[in-house]
Structure 1
Amino acid sequence: MSILDAVLGFAAVAFAVTAVATAPVARRVAPVALPVLLAGGVAQLLLEGFYWQFAPTYLLLGAATGLVVWQWKWRVGGWTTVARVVVALLLAPAALAWAMVPVPDLPRPTGPYAVGTEVLRLVDPNRPEPATDAPDDKRNVVVQAWYPADPGAHGKRSTYIDGADRLPDRVTVLPSFFMRGYDRIDTHALLDVPVDPGRSRWPVVLFSPGYGAPRAFYTGLIADLASRGFVVLAVDHPYEAAVTELADGTIATARERFLADDPDQSRYMSELLDVRTADLRFVVDQLERPDILGLRLSGHLDTEHIAAIGHSFGGAAAAAAVASDGRIKAAANIDGTLYGTLPQQSLTKPFLLLESDHEETGHGAAYSDGNRALLEHLQAGGFRYEITEANHYSFTDAPRFLADPARLLTAELMGGSRGPRETQRATNDILTAFLREPLGAGRGDVEAASAHYRDIHGGPVR
């Protein structure tokens, strides 16, 4: 939310409350407040365009203005009570709509590199699509590459989410009408610009999102990681992700096929994990193909140094990928429950478990037992850290979909008071230190990176 949006929303609500509750005060402040508020509304419309979220605010401002003008002219009249009721009825939707940010403000990347991005819509000719009934459907895998970009490059800003003009009714738990205007989000990345020429090849990090979540919901975290010197390949898993645009332009939405004899859906999730793992292996297969990568990325990827990371179910996919693919040198699981036989695997590559606050997220037994078993079986060592006052969604952009007052209230109810900015910065500091050695960039001090922040508990797993 821009400063103009915040000031206009707050001032309109405050003025309306004053007009309803204290007419004499409203009449005194009106000569100054009304011109400023009206000018702010006009400036917002001219500079930023119309946001449907602000429609109740515009109506509220108009009704409060009418009420004050009526009181100005006739002091007290029969219609004053009716007008006050109208204003009072508009206060709740105006405040609620204002809580949903029209255009979320993502943090600017903190690394030394500018960020470029490119979207690759791939088709695996050797795998059928398990989520559809059409026998000729082949598995699509959508990859968005985020990479260190030439600092002098010019290009257009990348879009935030696939199919912004064709979204389904819901995107995970969010009604899609809340996302109108998300095409204006500044991702802090330029589309299809040259790779930074400072290095011949850049280490590669695969990123797998949480269950049902589109890759877009991790833009803040991923763009920042790319600015630190990695090519991050964020993978959308079609028909599981809430919305994905396939290679032929089709908008694919989630299709869940739960099993009647699988009450906790553990078998379903295990099968889905196999699909994700195959998606990640397929992406690694493409990294040496210039016809797939195009002119920008071809020849710039250090395919000898690849890691896999992910959040929630994506964290399990990262662990499964490193367990099954020798080309992947390290993995990090951010707050993910493990499925199938994965907890019994003996990983021979470095592994990192990053967790949200256990009390605030309320991890279940499957999460705790599975990750404990995996850490106990590590053969190459690793790390585990718990970030207190961070909840499961603090690693995503989701908290930024709310205005600051609503975000603070949500943190009181659901946890996550550390906030997404510090949570994600701490996460990337720890990830960067962890990935340095397995990705050939020298030794990183993971313990020092975690110690830089308050109340992050954990350390090496021996």
Structure 2
Amino acid sequence: MSYPDLAILALALGAAWLAALSSRPGPRGLAAVAALSGLGMAVQAWRLGPCWQYAPLCALVLALAALAWLRRRPSPRHRALVWTGRGGLLALAAAAALPWALLPVPELPPPRGPYPVGSRVFRWVDPQRLEAATADPRDRRNLVVQAWYPAAAGGAVPPPYLDGLGRLPETVSFIPSLAMARYGRIDTHARGQAPPLASTRPWPVVLFSPGYGASRGFYSGLLADLASRGFVVLALDHPYEVSVTQLADGRLATPIERLPPDDPGQLHYMAMRMEVRAEDLRGVLDRVQRGDGFGALSARMDRTRVAAIGHSFGGAAAIAAAMADPRLRAAANLDGTLYGRALRQRLEVPLLLLESDRRETGHSERYLQGTAALIRHLRAGGYRYQIAAANHYSFTDVPLFLAPPARWLLGRLVGGSRGAAATQALSNDLLTAFLHDAWRDAPGDVAAAAAHHSGLSGGALSPAAAAGAK
């Protein structure tokens, strides 16, 4: 919520409060407040377009104008209407404030790295992989990737925040798509189609897998910031699992779940989906290694420095991919629960495990057991940190969809008071140091990076200590 938004809302709500509880301001004052509020909303509508969030506020302004008109009529009937309308004004004021909790256009934190950011979306079909989620035997697996990278000057069209804007399903990750009508105006702080920035050495590559059902777009703040620090970040959407993504032929794919009835807890199903995701990651890695399909960006990617990272279920997929493919030289898991073979196999590359506050997220016993198994199977060591006052969604942009007052209230009720911007910045400080340390390509002191932030607990994991992990 911008400062003009707050000013308009405060002005209208303050006027409603005064009108409901006192005889002041008078008719002229109320009319002036209504006029100023209406002018402010007209400016906002011109800037953002019509938004449903403004409808109750428009009604409130009209009610204030009507009240000003009634106060100019001294008859008992009009005075009775004034008094009767005061309770309604308070209710209307509350209705005007509540919808603003979901911002028409969320504001993402700007990247903190030294490089400008470019972004481009790639959509391919893998002719060798069947699409198991659909009933059509002719369907083949789509790979949907958004690249974030250090950019040179150029590129004018901003990258889309979400696929399918303007034709979204009714809900996207349980959020009403009506609230996303203006998400095409979100500033991702990236230049669409910008040419990659040349350097003396190609940029290292990070493959990213999002949480279960989540769009890659919900991590734009995290990913743009990571790219600004000197990485090519390739963020995947996983078709038919993500809430909505656009396939190579232009169709929108939405979730298809076929949960087997004889699978308590859906453990087998989740293990199967994890393998599909891991294969998606490896399919994109194949293209990176071949230099196939990325245009000018292919020449700027270092094929010897590639890592897999992910959040939540995406973290599990990143671990599974790193266990199966030696071309991945590091892995990071942000709050992800492991399934299937990832609970049993060894991890031969360095690991960074970032966790939200266990008291606020309430990590399940399955998560804790899986994490302990992962640490026991480490062969190259790594690091584990818990971030105080961050909950499971703090790694995403989702908390930023709410206005600051709603964000503050939610942080007190369910946790995550550190906030998305601060959690993403901290995560990328640690990720940057960890990756350079894992690749031995630049100074990367993870402990020093952690020391710059308060509320972190944890530290290094050595292979020798891993056997005794709890």
TM-score, normalised to structure 2, is: 0.94
Question: Does residue 1:287 correspond to 2:291, yes or no?
Answer: no
Contact 1:18 1:26 in 2 (8 A): no
**2-side partners of 1:114 and 1:441: how far apart?**
22
Q: 1:297: how far off?
A: 0.8
Residue 276 of structure 1 corresponds to which residue in structure 2? 277
Q: Residues 335 and 32 (structure 1 numbering): CA distance in 2 closer, same or farther, change over 3 Å?
A: same
CA distance in structure 2 between the partners assigned to 1:397 and 1:26 by the alignment: 44
Is the contact between residue 23 and residue 68 of structure 1 (CA under 8 Å) also seen in structure 2? Answer: no
- Which range moves more in the overlay, 74-83 or 15-24? 74-83
1:104-143 alignment runs, 5 A limit = 104-143=106-145
Please list every run of 5 or more consecutive structure 2 residues that lacks an aligned counterpart in the other structure. Answer: 463-470
Residue aligning to 1:2: 2
Residue type at the aligned position of 1:115:
V
Deviations 1:118-155 (A, max 9, x none): 100011111100100000000011000000001x3241
Aligned partners of 1:155 and 1:193 also within 8 Å? yes
Corresponding residue number in structure 1 for 2:239: 238
For 1:194, the equivalent position in structure 2 comes to: 195
User: One-letter code of the match for 1:272?
Assistant: R
* 2:160 alignment partner in structure 1: 159
Task: Name 1:248's counterpart in structure 2.
Answer: 249
* Cα pair 2:315 2:334 within 8 Å, conserved: yes
Q: Which residue of 1 aligns with 2:307?
A: 307
Is this contact kept in 2: 1:113–1:228, CA < 8 A?
Answer: yes
Q: CA RMSD in A?
A: 1.6
Q: Report the counterpart of residue 459 of structure 2 in structure 1.
A: 459
Residues 58 and 191 (structure 1), Cα distance of their counterparts in 2 relative to 1, 3 Å cut: same
- Once the two structures are superposed, what CA deviation does each residue of 1:225-276 show, in whole Å capped at 9, x if it has no partner? 0000000000000000000000000100011111111121111100000100
Alignment of 1:375-390 (within 5 A): 375-390=375-390
Q: Conserved in 1, the CA contact under 8 Å of 2:198 and 2:300? A: no
Alignment of 1:5-16 (within 5 A): 5-16=5-16
Q: Secondary structure at the match of 2:263?
A: coil
In the alignment, is the contact (CA less than 8 A) between 2:27 and 2:67 conserved in 1?
Answer: no
| Post-superposition CA distance 1:337-376 (Å, at most 9, x none) | 0001212222110001000000000001110011111112
1:204-242: CA deviation from partner (whole Å, max 9, x where unpaired) = 000000000010100000000000000000000000000
1: CA distance, partners of 2:286 / 2:355: 30
Residue pairs, 1:7-406, within 5 angstroms: 7-25=7-25, 27=27, 29-30=29-30, 33-74=33-74, 77-150=79-152, 152-294=153-295, 296-406=296-406
The answer to whether the 8 A contact 1:19-1:68 is kept is no
Q: Deviations over 1:65-111 (max 9, x none)?
A: 21123224438523324533543342232121111111000000000
Instruction: Measure the CA separation in 2 of the matches of 1:72 and 1:166.
Output: 48
Residue aligned with 1:23, SS: coil
Identify the range of structure 1 (46-55 vs 199-208) with the bigger mean alpha-carbon deviation: 46-55
Deviates more, 1:280-289 or 1:185-194: 280-289
In 2, the alpha carbon distance for the partners of 1:293 and 1:7 equals: 45
* TM-score, with structure 1 as normaliser: 0.96
Distance 1:279 1:291 in 2: 15
SS at match of 1:112: coil
Looking at structure 2, the residues matched to 297 and 26 of structure 1 have their Cα atoms a distance apart, in angstroms, of 65
Q: Is this contact kept in 2: 1:146–1:233, CA < 8 A?
A: yes
Q: Do the aligned partners of residues 12 and 241 (structure 1) sit closer, same or farther apart at CA in structure 2, a change above 3 Å counting? A: same
* 2:61 counterpart letter in structure 1: L
SS of equivalent to 2:330: strand
- Kindly state the Cα deviation for residue 29 of structure 1 after the two structures are TM-superposed: 4.3
Percent of pairs with identical residues = 50
Q: Secondary structure at the match of 2:264?
A: coil
| 1:249 aligned partner, one-letter code | G
The separation in 2 between residues aligned to 1:123 and 1:310, in whole angstroms, is: 22
Q: Secondary structure at the match of 1:328?
A: coil
Question: Distance in 2 between the 1:190 and 1:26 partners?
Answer: 51
Deviation at 1:31, TM superposition (A): 6.2
1:281 alignment partner AA: R
Partners of 2:443 and 2:267 in 1: how far apart? Answer: 38
Any idea what SS the aligned residue of 1:383 has? strand
* Mapped contact 1:112–1:227 kept (Cα < 8 A): yes
- Higher mean C-alpha displacement, 248-257 vs 1-10: 1-10
2:446 maps to: 446
Determine if contact 2:337/2:366 at 8 Å carries over to the other structure: yes
Task: Look up the equivalent residue of 2:178 and give its one-letter code.
Answer: F
Q: CA deviation at 1:398?
A: 0.5
Q: 1:309, 1:332 within 8 Å by CA — same for their partners in 2?
A: yes
Distance 2:267 2:83 in 1: 59
Q: Is the 8 A contact 1:195 1:297 kept in 2?
A: yes
Deviations 1:386-438 (A, max 9, x none): 00000000000010010000011111111001111111110000000000133
Deviation at 1:51, TM superposition (A): 1.4
Deviation at 1:200, TM superposition (A): 4.3
Q: Is the 8 A contact 2:38 2:58 kept in 1?
A: no
Q: Report the number of matched residues.
A: 460
Q: Confirm or deny: 8 A CA contact 2:144 2:237 kept in the other structure.
A: yes
**Counterpart contact for 1:290–1:299, Cα < 8 Å:** yes
Contact 2:308–2:319 (8 Å) recurs in 1: yes
Are the counterparts in 1 of residues 437 and 445 from structure 2 also a CA contact under 8 Å? Answer: no
| Displacement after TM superposition at 1:440 (Å) | 4.9
How far residue 377 of structure 1 moved from its aligned partner, in angstroms, is: 1.8
**Partners of 1:305 and 1:438 within 8 A in 2:** no
Contact 2:155–2:193 under 8 Å retained in 1:
no
Within a 5 Å distance, the mapping from 1:411-422 to structure 2 comes to: 411-422=411-422
- In the alignment, the residues of structure 1 paired with residue 72 and residue 460 of structure 2 have an alpha-carbon distance, to the nearest angstrom, of 70
Quote the Cα distance in structure 1 between the aligned partners of 2:458 and 2:217: 30
Partner Cα separation in structure 2 for residue 119 and residue 236 of structure 1: 11
Once the two structures are TM-superposed, the CA of residue 443 in structure 1 deviates from its matched residue by 3.2
CA shift for structure 1 position 32 = 5.1
- The residue type equivalent to 1:184 in the other structure is R
Three-state SS of the structure 1 residue aligned to 2:340 is coil
Distance 1:334 1:267, change over 3 A: same
Task: Describe the SS at the equivalent of 1:287.
Answer: helix
Structure 2 CA distance for aligned equivalents of residues 293 and 222 of structure 1: 18
